[in-house]
Amino acid sequence: MLSGSARLRRAVAASLMLVLAIVVGACGSGTQDQPSGGGDSSNGGVTLTLTHITDNQPGWDAVMKEYKKVAPNVSFKSSFAPTDQLQTQLRAQLGGGNAPDLFVSWPGNGSAMSVQQLAGSGLLADLSDQDWIKQVPEGLRPLFGLDGKTYMWTYGLVPIGAIYNKQVFKEAGVDQIPQTWGELEAACDKVKAAGKVCIALGNQTPWVTQLIPYAIAPSTAFNEDPNLAQDMLDGKKSFQNSGWGEVFNRYLELNKKGYFNPNPNGTTFEQQQEMVASGKAAMAVQVAPTATPIRDAAKNPDDIGMFPFPGNDKKGELKIPAGLGAGVAVSANSPHMEEAKKFVNFLGTPEAITAYSEAMKAVPVVPSDSYTPDPMLKSFVPFVEKNKTVPFMDQQWPNAEVQPAHFAGIQELFAGKTTVDGLLKTLDEAYQKR
């Protein structure tokens, strides 16, 4: 029988790391779809190149299969790699004029590969004439582009929550899903007493560092000031002059109470997943799509579930982070501009968005009667419907400097090299770099 670790390696190899070979610049590797009539040849076929993050491969597999039915002459040469690698790789390709036709871009303005950063540099094709953007809720449309124009597509809202092992909860005597911060601490005390890690944390992988603060902030900093993101942009609030201090203090509190695994800074994202899948840890705070490989790697897939992370002090006050997922943009220098835009237009249909969202455990950004939420996602849907969500914080930051400062600052905080006050000051300095 395979161990939990072996099952995770198999699941990751199958569902997340199928084409991990494009580490830095090896864009030619990856998966390749070749329907009949495909390829750049005299029969009129076209091959579109696409580079995206590994986590989103299930979504692309779903929509490419559907697109074959309406465009059998189009093939895809698709490459996938982890987020941290693609941030650097794609920027270099874009700067050199040799980017793929289609590539990952993030909503808003929080990273080097965010749509507002790229569009402002003239690197993206304008998609404003596509009809699907009119179906997107008006309040979200600015995150799809710049200066009123649309430069990227994305499928839906992805929540961050606690992916947990039901068997570990049961063995530790945790009978109910925690609904408040106090109940979370009580549950972690029981798990810790049972000799297990309560919350697996893989801060060696930089982007993982941000997830717990993002899960805490909606019910603390943003509960105190629902307009905090705009107030910070307007200069009325700052990291130091807002509820962000409480967010990071609570993060450290979890660490001081021994709820995390030893040495989070020396633990990777993959190790974090393995701990939950194998039952070494009760839970991990992660984006919803991560539940799939954890469930696939578990001895009993039904043992893996997901619930909203309770950053709130009182029942009924919980808000959750639900950000637009990583989407796709078209290179301004694509040699297959017409076909690339046609494909993105197809992505904007309710059928395609539903297929992608269901594969990625997301709530579609365009309404669809055919959408059926994954059972793991059911407890999150009411928060979206009742507008009790806060976008991922980096999607509303003014530049691409805050995110890496946040990643590094959290690692320094856990290493004892800075304090919460020091981190807040560093983040404010990065925020001011307009």
pLDDT tens profile 278-295:
999 999 999 998 998 999
What tokens were used for 104?
């990952």
Q: Which residue has the tokens 């800074």?
A: 265
Cα gap 208→214, rounded to integer Å: 10
Q: For the structural domain made of 161-322+392-431, what CATH number should be given?
A: 3.40.190.10
Contacts of 420 (CB under 8 A, 6+ apart): 245, 248, 249, 252, 413
DSSP-based three-state secondary structure for 121: coil
| Per-residue model confidence (pLDDT) at position 282 | 98
Q: CB of 10 within 8 A of CB of 2? A: yes
Name which of 80-84, 178-182, 187-191, 209-213 the model is least confident about.
80-84
Tokens 């984006």 locate to 287
The model's confidence at residue 363, banded by pLDDT at 50, 70 and 90, is confident
Q: Is 126 exposed, middle or buried (0-12, 13-18, 19+ CB in 10 A)?
A: middle
Q: Which residues pair with 305 in a beta bridge?
A: 164
Question: 246-280, pLDDT tens digit by residue?
Answer: 999 999 999 999 999 999 999 999 999 999 999 99
* Spatial contact of 206 and 85, defined as CB atoms under 8 Å apart: no
pLDDT score of 361: 84
Residue 12 pLDDT exceeds 80: no
Ramachandran angles phi, psi of 38, nearest 5°: -80, 175
Query: What confidence score (pLDDT) does residue 234 get?
Result: 95
pLDDT in tens, 397-407: 999 899 999 99
Q: Is the pLDDT of residue 77 over 80?
A: yes
Residue 283 β-bridge partners: 164, 199
Task: In whole angstroms, give the CA distance from residue 12 to residue 18.
Answer: 8
In whole numbers, what is the pLDDT of the chain averaged over residues?
88
Where is pLDDT greater, at 153 or 351? 153
Dist CA 115 CA 123 (whole Å): 10
* Residue 302 DSSP class: G
Query: What does the DSSP assignment read for 237-257?
Result: --STTSTHHHHHHHHHHHHHT
How many helices (H) and strands (E) in the chain?
17, 14
CATH number of 15-155+325-369: 3.40.190.10
Mean pLDDT calculated for residue range 20-35: 30
Tokens of 162: 């606690």
Burial label, 66 (beta-carbon count in 10 A; 0-12, 13-18, 19+)? middle
* Residue burial 38-64, b: 16+ Cβ < 10 Å; e: rest: bbeeeeebbbbbbbbbbbbbbbbbbbb
Contact 92, 365 (CB under 8 A): no
Cα–Cα distance, 349 to 352 (Å, whole number) = 5
Among 276, 212, 205, residue whose Cα is nearest residue 55: 205
What's the CA dihedral at 226, 289, 326, 100 to 10 degrees? Answer: 170
Tokens matching residue 410? 């959290």
Q: What is the mean pLDDT of residues 400-424?
A: 97
pLDDT at 44: 58
CA 369 to chain centre: 25
pLDDT digits (tens, 9 = 90+) for 382-392: 888 788 999 89
Residue 137: pLDDT over 70: yes
pTM for the whole thing? 0.78
Overall average pLDDT of the 371-394 stretch? 87
So what's the pLDDT on residue 112? 86
pLDDT mean over 342-366: 90
- pLDDT digits over 290-309, tens only? 998 999 999 999 999 999 99
Residue 374 has a pLDDT of 83
Which one-letter DSSP state was computed for residue 365? S
Residue 289 is predicted with a pLDDT of 86
SS3 state at 145: strand
pLDDT tens, 109-119? 888 899 999 99
Q: Contact at 8 Å (CB) between 29 and 22?
A: yes
Q: Are strands 281-287 and 197-200 parallel, antiparallel or unpaired?
A: parallel
Separation of alpha carbons 416 and 410, rounded Å = 10
3-class DSSP assignment, residue 269 = helix
Token code pair at residue 48: 């579109």
pLDDT at 30 over 80: no
Fill in the DSSP letter of residue 71.
Answer: -
Backbone φ and ψ of 43, nearest 5° = -80, 5
What amino acid occupies position 66?
A: E
**CB-CB contact of 46 with 3 (8 Å):** no
Give me the pLDDT at residue 270, please.
Answer: 95
Which residue's structure tokens are 């619930």? 307
Q: Parse the chain into domains and list their residue ranges.
A: 15-155+325-369, 161-322+392-431
pLDDT at 7: 38
